[in-house]
């Protein structure tokens, strides 16, 4: 039970510090809010502040338990000191007791079910993978880990900052409980919104719709960040409506802060700030005479300054660290050696595709009833979303539908249903408003959603592999049973934790083609698709299966004396252009390579040495779609006589290459664009070369799944590869490169 | 509706009570029909997850749901299986009485309408057989009655209830989507066009049409959304391939004849009635006392239009037994139109035709087996014989595919766990007992089986 107490303390302490910070802020800004909404807004705003402060501590590498503990206690004490003697806030106008009682009953039932799931060991794929993986790494380093390069480490980590505080006291489940707090906050905020604006029925209806929604619940009880995003976005919308009535500049400060926090939590909330700005501008245009003395610019500054402040830790961190303020995206705008632009494109495109869906009509069914292909469902009542259009008759309905539309845009970039979570509260409220006039509709639909989304009921009709809460692990949540079997059941890879931590020296890294539950493994894992290093390692291991070096393109021309030679692509294609080795010849003999040669390439110039390292398993590649002027070039310290350029590679058949030489005048002139293609046997010893190159990259250990392309070959020829299997569990093999 | 009691009303009450008693008797005593057994075996006995994993047109959702409750509450018997249908049947009888009383007063016409609406063998079977048709019919009639009642005495609550009943009728049988939508559309247009006398006198009292439509839709949605999740077009598109086939089937089941001349007359009659109904509807659209003519005539026509349009553009089949709604629709359209004309000859002709029809219905009154299960009416006796013969021994039973659901049902019904699960496959294996339909009786000779029980449709052999 001590463990449970620690978990609860970690989560409650983090929430308490957040509320305290929020209370200080709200009091300082002298905002007039109702009692319940004040508490919720204080939590949401305070969490943003705490996240910001923790990011600073992480940058300074002083993110330690003691700092959190004493700093947090000081903040709580300050808030309590300030709250003494403060006048009690007003309550919302009363609503019928039966409504509140029904809401309370349903909410409580789901709350208890969810709470035990959140309290149970964290086993969600992304939560145990990178969300808490990053947190654990930060916890080990007392701040950001600059040496670990993974696209998931580059994302903004506003929620992870809160997780870090909770993790310091209660480890993984504490972090999940912090996210669970957001899951509870969002529907309560919706109820408050309804009560404030006289739409109580719609508010209560929508709150249950959201709280009972299976994908929202599953996400909310896991150490993810989607509910934090949704709550922040909703809070911004909420306060914009309040601002519409009061026109208080101080309210804009908190709106800006929340907008910035939303971006800090997840990039997909990038629309929050533009939405708020557009709202303020539109509001000024619509009623310029309301406060003519206050210019629009001042309001915008009130909004922008706090927003930019909250955004700054993530932009600046990535800019200084990686050279790309928006990493891991926009790598073609901000080229950097840490993540390939082409891989970003492939990754983004894979997220945009609905895999397995035969017809567009299936998408609504997948999102509401089945869920297997979109990773989660919102519940059958959301099939009635078109009825939300009835809300267009009302001002609030139009606003809600606009917000639903705007915040659904990121879902275009990722087909996972959880990317629609920020839009769902607005849609639910609009449905509530649209159906409020139909007798009995809201209570019936509320009860229907509650009934059919109750986890055991849900399992009777959704796809079996739909991402959802599927059990009530009360004993393991209370740690009356060992957590280990529960974790192993959900994360079978963790069976290799002990061998990994015994065999891999501290500080060494492991390569894996697939993501692993890094939050539970005390070693860094380089995943194939997450970083440049991962891409290169994957490329090396795939040499034999995917790109055997058995082709050579010979560009022959009359002997010339030049100080530079390059091969340029002049075609625009979607494929990558790749070169294993580039060799220069004169009279049939290869020019010996010299350290004095200046090697260049565009794009991805950082990796050009891979085309001159005499290894067929390493390759230079554009790692992005071929563009005209993509090139690989050599400049000599003194003029050299050459008559042939050889590119050894898996030819990019769609590329159009030409050889150019550097004239004394500094101009490049083309010599030939007609290669002679020679196919030959690929050299022996490629397996060993691959593992040698892996070691050169600092990767001596491998985690290979049965389904990975190299597994069968590695299993058949371990001696050729020079690997030894150290352990195996549940279809995952742990190898050491000898 | 004044509380009066004339001889005809008393007769009607006694008649309906008797009919209800017959329904209960049949529900208790008749063997389960193939449709009931199939529905029980595929959608009621399995777990929720198994039942919801697929959908076919025989799954009448509301009936399935209520039978699940009924058989879980009381242990499985034919009566518990048919209890929801029986209750729906009672509702239907009550609605018919109210409607006939409200619109046709008392006397011979009143009795004729009641007889025509209740004595049709198809309707009698539907009032107790554990399928969704009777339930759908009762709900649809109830909705119709409530709509008519609400426009007489403007009462939005009754209208809301009518919307719910319409939704329930569709949930009970998808075949009722056409008449439900038709009734809804006709009523919405009728009430919006100012035809409603009450609206004319008090424009503020316009019936809340959108609410009615939404309540109808939401009721059907709540009940159908999840079961239809795994519906596939190929399992939904089962039925008659033409309206002609639908009408022929209706005539055969109602009159017990497949004479071409009668079927052809019925088809022509229905077509003429649709046009006449539409004409009468237009004529009585704005009359203060013309609600029933306006609504029934237009609904009948629009239902047929919907059916044909859906067949033409959505390639949906025409309903078979599901077209049972055509019976009250035609009866009400004819009766209302003729009575409104105050034409003595027409009324006498109507009474004459009614008498002929009623005579036919009475002569073919189904005290015993259900039309849908004629071949298997001895299934219960067979199952009891098998139970006696098999004793407590572990036995393998081979059943003809058509008899498999029925035997599976009785295996559960009589809790015969010692009967190994009966599989739906050709009888190629060796079994301890054989339950054969006439198509497979050759096996008796081939395998030298000993016949234990035999009737017109089933044979039990060892």
Q: Tokens 């997948």 belong to which residue?
A: A366
Mutation site, A383, A447, A461, interface B, largest B CB count within 10 A = A461
CB distance from B226 to chain A under 8 Å?
yes
pLDDT band at B207 (very low <50, low <70, confident <90, very high): low
Is B211 in contact with A438 (Cβ distance < 8 A)? yes
Mutation site, A432, A458, A460, interface B, largest B CB count within 10 A = A460
Q: Could you write out the DSSP letters of every residue in A684-717?
A: S-HHHHHHHHHHHTTEEEEEEETTSTTHHHHHH-
CB distance from A377 to chain B under 8 Å?
no
CB distance from B386 to chain A under 8 Å?
no
Sheet containing strand B459-461, edge to edge, reads B397-399, B433-436, B459-461, B451-454
Is B229 in contact with A365 (Cβ distance < 8 A)? yes
Give the per-residue pLDDT at A288.
Answer: 60
pLDDT tens-place string over residues B36-55:
999 999 999 999 999 999 89
State the Cα–Cα distance between residues A86 and B370, nearest whole angstrom: 79
Is A444 in contact with B48 (Cβ distance < 8 A)? no
Give the per-residue pLDDT at A88.
Answer: 87
Report, in angstroms and rounded to the nearest whole number, the Rg of chain A calculated over CA atoms.
Answer: 29
Give the per-residue pLDDT at B346.
Answer: 85
pLDDT reading at A119 higher than 90:
yes
Q: How many angstroms separate the CA of residue B151 from the nearest CA in chain A?
A: 18
For A460, which of B48, B157, B210 is closest by C-beta distance?
B48
Residue A158 CB partners (closer than 8 Å, separation 6+): A48, A51, A55, A225, A228, A261, A264, A265, A266, A314
Q: Which two tokens stand for residue A582?
A: 């580039």
Q: How far is CA A324 from CA A273, A624, B293, in A?
A: 21, 17, 76
Residue pair B453/B381 in contact (Cβ under 8 Å)? The answer is yes
Is B214 in contact with A387 (Cβ distance < 8 A)? yes
pLDDT over 70, % of chain A: 99
pLDDT tens-place string over residues B422-441:
888 888 888 899 999 888 88
Question: Which chain A residue has its CA at the smallest distance from B213's CA?
Answer: A438
For B221, which of A370, A384, A457 is closest by C-beta distance?
A384
Contacts of A459 in chain B (CB under 8 A): 49
pLDDT reading at B197 higher than 70:
no
Over residues A373-389, mean pLDDT: 96
Residue pair B182/B299 in contact (Cβ under 8 Å)? The answer is yes
Question: Which chain A residue has its CA at the smallest distance from B225's CA?
Answer: A380
Q: Which two tokens stand for residue A575?
A: 């494929």
Instruction: Give the 3-state DSSP-derived string for B2-25, with helices as H, strands as E and coil as C.
Output: CCCCCHHHHHHHHHHHHHHHHHHH
CB distance from B49 to chain A under 8 Å?
yes
Cis amide linkage into residue A143, ω under 30° from 0: no
Count interface pairs A-B at CB distance under 8 A. Answer: 47
Residue A502 CB partners (closer than 8 Å, separation 6+): none
pLDDT band at B393 (very low <50, low <70, confident <90, very high): confident
**Is B10 exposed, middle or buried (CB count within 10 Å of its CB: 0-12, 13-18, 19+)?**
exposed
Q: How many residues does chain B have?
A: 462
Extract long-range pairs of A134-140: CB within 8 Å, 24+ residues apart: A134/A160, A135/A160, A135/A163, A135/A164, A135/A167, A135/A175, A135/A223, A135/A519, A136/A167, A136/A518, A136/A519, A136/A522, A137/A518, A137/A524, A138/A58, A138/A63, A138/A164, A139/A63, A139/A164, A139/A167, A139/A168
**CA angle centred on A342, ends A340 and A347, rounded to 5°:** 95
Q: Tokens 């039932």 belong to which residue?
A: A109
pLDDT reading at B6 higher than 60:
yes
pLDDT reading at B345 higher than 90:
no
Question: Which chain A residue has its CA at the smallest distance from B49's CA?
Answer: A460
State the Cα–Cα distance between residues A535 and A460, nearest whole angstrom: 41
Contacts of A440 in chain B (CB under 8 A): 160, 215
Over residues A135-158, mean pLDDT: 94
Q: How many angstroms separate the CA of residue B219 from the nearest CA in chain A?
A: 9
For A439, which of B47, B49, B160 is closest by C-beta distance?
B160
State the Cα–Cα distance between residues B451 and A184, nearest whole angstrom: 69
Work out the mean pLDDT of chain A and round it to a whole number.
94
For B49, which of A441, A448, A460 is closest by C-beta distance?
A460
Give the per-residue pLDDT at B75.
Answer: 87
Determine phi and psi for A360, rounding to 5 degrees: -60, -25
CB distance from A470 to chain B under 8 Å?
no
CB distance from B212 to chain A under 8 Å?
no
CB distance from A437 to chain B under 8 Å?
yes
Strand segments (E) across A615-667: 620-621, 631-648, 657-662
Give the per-residue pLDDT at A294.
Answer: 67
Residue A417 CB partners (closer than 8 Å, separation 6+): A215, A366, A367, A371, A374, A375, A376, A377, A378
CB distance from B214 to chain A under 8 Å?
yes
Contacts of A387 in chain B (CB under 8 A): 214
Is A380 in contact with B225 (Cβ distance < 8 A)? yes
Q: Which two tokens stand for residue B93?
A: 């009888």
Q: How many angstroms separate the CA of residue A184 from the nearest CA in chain B?
A: 26
Is A461 in contact with B215 (Cβ distance < 8 A)? no
β-strand pairing of A598-602 with A551-569: unpaired
Q: How far is CA B273 from CA B19, B120, B297, in A?
A: 29, 19, 8
pLDDT band at B314 (very low <50, low <70, confident <90, very high): confident
For A459, which of B49, B214, B222 is closest by C-beta distance?
B49
Q: Could you write out the DSSP letters of every residue in A216-236?
A: HHHHHTTT-SHHHHHHHHHHH
Residue A531, classed as helix, strand or coil, is: coil
Give the per-residue pLDDT at A188.
Answer: 97
Quick one: DSSP state of residue A93?
P
pLDDT band at B368 (very low <50, low <70, confident <90, very high): confident
Q: What is the pTM of this model?
A: 0.92
Give the per-residue pLDDT at A275.
Answer: 97
Dihedral angle over CA of A62, A63, A67, A72, nearest 10 = 140
Residue pair B368/B377 in contact (Cβ under 8 Å)? The answer is yes
Q: How many angstroms separate the CA of residue A440 from the nearest CA in chain B?
A: 8
Q: How many angstroms separate the CA of residue B37 from the nearest CA in chain A?
A: 23
Cis amide linkage into residue A328, ω under 30° from 0: yes
Residue pair A219/A457 in contact (Cβ under 8 Å)? The answer is no
Q: How far is CA A695 from the centre of its chain?
A: 29
pLDDT over 70, % of chain B: 95
Among candidate residues B25, B91, B34, B22, the one with its CA nearest the CA of residue B62:
B91
CB distance from A369 to chain B under 8 Å?
yes
Q: How far is CA B48 from the centre of its chain?
A: 25
pLDDT band at B105 (very low <50, low <70, confident <90, very high): confident
pLDDT band at A584 (very low <50, low <70, confident <90, very high): very high
Mutation site, B64, B229, B231, B233, interface A, largest A CB count within 10 A = B229
Contacts of A461 in chain B (CB under 8 A): 48-49, 52, 226, 229
Contacts of B49 in chain A (CB under 8 A): 459-461
Is B218 in contact with A441 (Cβ distance < 8 A)? yes
pLDDT reading at B286 higher than 90:
no
Residue B345 CB partners (closer than 8 Å, separation 6+): none
Over residues B254-274, mean pLDDT: 89
CB distance from A505 to chain B under 8 Å?
no
Question: Which chain A residue has its CA at the smallest distance from B158's CA?
Answer: A439
Question: Which chain B residue has its CA at the smallest distance from A379's CA?
Answer: B226
Question: Which chain B residue has its CA at the smallest distance from A365's CA?
Answer: B229
Give the per-residue pLDDT at A284.
Answer: 86
Please name the residues between 263 and 322 in chain B that touch chain A, using a CB distance below 8 Å. none
Residue A633 CB partners (closer than 8 Å, separation 6+): A564, A565, A566, A567, A599, A600, A601
Residue A655, classed as helix, strand or coil, is: coil
pLDDT reading at A209 higher than 80:
yes
Q: How many angstroms separate the CA of residue A214 from the nearest CA in chain B?
A: 15
Quick one: DSSP state of residue A380?
G
pLDDT band at B455 (very low <50, low <70, confident <90, very high): confident
pLDDT tens-place string over residues A22-32:
999 999 999 98
Phi-psi region of A355 (alpha: psi -120 to 50; beta: other; left: phi over 0): beta
**Is B241 exposed, middle or buried (CB count within 10 Å of its CB: 0-12, 13-18, 19+)?**
exposed
Q: Which two tokens stand for residue B48?
A: 């929720």
State the Cα–Cα distance between residues A328 and A732, nearest whole angstrom: 28
Is A459 in contact with B225 (Cβ distance < 8 A)? no
Among candidate residues B316, B285, B273, the one with its CA nearest the CA of residue B181:
B316
Residue B164, classed as helix, strand or coil, is: helix
Over residues A69-89, mean pLDDT: 93
CB distance from B205 to chain A under 8 Å?
no
Q: How far is CA A43 from the centre of its chain?
A: 23
Over residues B114-135, mean pLDDT: 95
Give the per-residue pLDDT at A289.
Answer: 55
Over residues B61-67, mean pLDDT: 96
Question: Which chain A residue has its CA at the smallest distance from B55's CA?
Answer: A461
Mutation site, B46, B53, B214, interface A, largest A CB count within 10 A = B214
Please name the residues between 115 and 174 in chain B that touch chain A, using a CB distance below 8 Å. 156-157, 160
Q: How many angstroms separate the CA of residue B49 from the nearest CA in chain A?
A: 4
CB distance from B365 to chain A under 8 Å?
no
């Amino acid at each position: 039970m001590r463990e449970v107490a620690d978990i609860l303390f970690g989560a409650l302490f983090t929430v308490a510090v957040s509320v305290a910070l929020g209370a200080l802020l709200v009091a300082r800004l002298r905002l007039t809010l109702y009692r319940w909404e004040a508490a919720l807004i204080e939590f949401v705003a305070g969490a943003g502040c705490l996240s910001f402060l923790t990011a600073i501590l992480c940058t300074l590498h002083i993110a330690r338990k003691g700092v959190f503990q004493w700093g947090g206690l000081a903040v709580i004490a300050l808030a309590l000191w300030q709250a003494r003697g403060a006048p009690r806030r007003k309550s919302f106008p009363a609503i019928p007791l039966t409504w509140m009682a029904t809401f309370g009953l349903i909410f409580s039932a789901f709350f208890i079910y969810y709470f035990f799931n959140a309290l149970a060991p964290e086993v969600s794929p992304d939560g145990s993978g990178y969300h808490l993986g990053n947190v654990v790494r930060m916890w080990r380093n007392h701040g950001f880990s600059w040496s670990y390069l993974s696209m998931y480490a580059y994302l903004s980590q506003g929620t992870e900052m809160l997780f870090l505080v909770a993790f310091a006291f209660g480890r993984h489940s504490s972090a999940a409980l912090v996210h669970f707090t957001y899951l509870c906050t969002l529907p309560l905020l919706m109820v408050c919104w309804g009560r404030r604006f006289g739409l109580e029925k719609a508010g209560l209806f929508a709150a249950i719709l959201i709280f009972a929604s299976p994908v929202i619940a599953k996400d909310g009880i896991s150490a993810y960040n989607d509910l934090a995003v949704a709550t922040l976005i909703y809070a911004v919308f909420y306060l914009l409506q309040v601002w519409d009535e009061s026109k208080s500049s101080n309210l804009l400060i908190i709106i800006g802060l929340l907008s910035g926090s939303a971006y800090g939590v997840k990039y997909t909330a990038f629309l929050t700030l533009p939405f708020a700005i557009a709202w303020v501008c539109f509001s000024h245009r619509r009623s310029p005479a309301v406060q003519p003395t206050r210019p629009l610019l001042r309001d915008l500054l009130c909004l922008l300054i706090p927003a930019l402040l909250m955004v700054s830790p993530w932009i600046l961190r990535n800019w200084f660290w990686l050279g790309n303020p928006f990493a891991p995206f926009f790598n073609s705008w901000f080229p950097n050696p840490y993540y390939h632009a082409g891989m970003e494109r492939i990754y983004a495109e894979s997220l945009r595709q609905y895999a397995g869906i035969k017809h567009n009509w299936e998408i609504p069914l997948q999102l509401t009833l089945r869920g297997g292909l979109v990773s989660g469902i919102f519940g059958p009542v959301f099939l009635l979303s078109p009825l939300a259009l009835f809300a267009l008759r009302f001002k609030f309905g139009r606003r809600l539908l606009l917000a639903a539309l705007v915040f659904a845009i990121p879902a275009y970039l990722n087909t996972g249903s959880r990317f629609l979570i920020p839009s769902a509260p607005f849609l639910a409220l609009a449905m509530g408003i649209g159906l409020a006039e139909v007798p009995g509709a809201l209570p019936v639909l509320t009860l229907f959603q509650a009934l059919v989304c109750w986890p055991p009921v849900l399992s009777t009709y959704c796809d079996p592999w739909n991402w959802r809460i599927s059990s009530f692990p009360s004993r393991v949540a209370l740690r009356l049973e060992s957590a280990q079997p529960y974790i192993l059941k959900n994360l079978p890879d963790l069976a290799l934790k002990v061998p990994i931590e015994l065999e891999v020296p501290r500080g060494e890294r492991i390569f894996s083609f697939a993501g692993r539950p890094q939050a539970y493994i005390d070693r860094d894992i380089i995943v194939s698709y997450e970083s440049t290093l991962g891409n290169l390692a994957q490329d090396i291991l795939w040499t034999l299966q995917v790109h055997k070096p058995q082709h050579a393109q010979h560009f022959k021309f009359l002997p010339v004396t030049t100080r530079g030679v390059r091969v340029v692509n002049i075609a625009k294609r979607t494929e990558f252009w790749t070169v294993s080795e580039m060799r220069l010849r004169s009279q049939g003999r290869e020019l010996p390579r010299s350290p004095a040669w200046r090697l260049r390439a565009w794009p991805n110039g950082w990796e050009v040495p891979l085309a001159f390292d005499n290894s067929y398993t390493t390759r230079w590649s554009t790692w992005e779609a071929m563009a005209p002027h993509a090139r690989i070039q050599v400049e000599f310290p003194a003029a050299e006589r050459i008559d042939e350029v050889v590119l050894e590679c898996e030819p990019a058949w769609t590329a159009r290459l030409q050889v150019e030489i550097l004239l004394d005048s500094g101009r490049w002139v083309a010599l030939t664009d007609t290669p002679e293609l020679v196919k030959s046997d690929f050299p022996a010893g490629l397996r060993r070369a691959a593992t040698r190159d892996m070691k050169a990259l600092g990767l001596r250990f491998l985690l290979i799944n049965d389904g990975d392309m190299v597994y069968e070959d590695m299993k058949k020829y371990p001696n050729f590869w020079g690997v030894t299997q150290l352990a195996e569990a549940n279809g995952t093999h742990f190898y050491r490169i000898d | 509706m004044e509380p009066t009691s004339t001889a005809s009303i008393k007769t009607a009450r006694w008649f309906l009570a008797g009919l209800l008693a017959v329904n209960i008797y049949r529900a208790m005593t008749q063997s389960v029909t193939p449709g009931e057994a199939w529905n029980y075996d595929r959608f009621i006995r399995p777990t929720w997850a198994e039942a919801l994993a697929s959908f076919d047109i025989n799954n009448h959702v509301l009936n399935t749901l209520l039978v699940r409750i009924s058989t879980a509450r009381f242990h499985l018997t034919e009566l518990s299986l048919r209890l929801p249908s029986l209750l729906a049947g009672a509702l239907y009888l009550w609605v018919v009485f109210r409607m006939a009383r409200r619109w046709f007063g008392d006397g011979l016409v009143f009795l004729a309408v009641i007889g025509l609406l209740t004595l049709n063998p198809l309707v009698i079977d539907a009032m107790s057989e554990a399928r969704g048709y009777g339930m759908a019919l009762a709900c649809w009639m109830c909705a119709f009655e409530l709509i008519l009642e609400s426009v007489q005495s403007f009462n939005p609550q009754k209208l809301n209830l009518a919307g719910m009943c319409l939704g329930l009728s569709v949930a009970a049988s998808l075949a009722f989507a056409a008449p439900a939508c038709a009734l809804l559309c006709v009523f919405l247009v009728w009430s919006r066009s100012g035809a409603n006398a009450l609206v004319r006198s008090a424009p503020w009292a316009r019936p809340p049409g959108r609410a009615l439509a939404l309540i109808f839709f939401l009721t059907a949605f709540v009940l159908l959304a999840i079961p239809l999740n795994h519906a596939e077009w190929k399992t939904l598109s089962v039925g008659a391939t033409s309206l002609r086939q639908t009408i022929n089937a209706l005539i055969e089941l109602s009159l017990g004849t497949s004479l071409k001349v009668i079927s052809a007359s019925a088809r022509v009659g229905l077509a003429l009635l649709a046009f006449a109904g539409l004409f009468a509807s237009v004529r009585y659209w704005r009359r203060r006392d013309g609600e029933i003519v306006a609504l029934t005539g237009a609904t009948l026509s629009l239902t047929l239009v919907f059916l044909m349009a859906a067949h033409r553009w959505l390639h949906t089949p025409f309903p078979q037994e599901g077209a049972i709604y055509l019976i009250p629709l035609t009866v009400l359209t004819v009766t209302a139109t003729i009575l409104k004309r105050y034409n003595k000859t027409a009324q006498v002709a109507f009474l004459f035709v009614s008498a002929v029809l009623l005579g036919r219905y009475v002569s073919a009154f189904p005290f015993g087996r259900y039309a849908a299960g004629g071949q298997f009416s001895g299934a219960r006796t067979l199952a009891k014989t098998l139970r006696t013969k098999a004793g407590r021994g572990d036995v393998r039973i081979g059943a003809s595919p058509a008899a498999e659901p029925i035997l599976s049902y009785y295996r559960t019904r009589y809790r015969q766990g010692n009967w190994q699960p009966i599989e739906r496959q050709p009888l190629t294996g060796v079994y301890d007992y054989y339950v054969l339909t006439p198509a497979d009786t050759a096996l008796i000779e081939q395998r030298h089986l000993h016949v234990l029980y035999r009737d017109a449709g089933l044979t039990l052999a060892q």
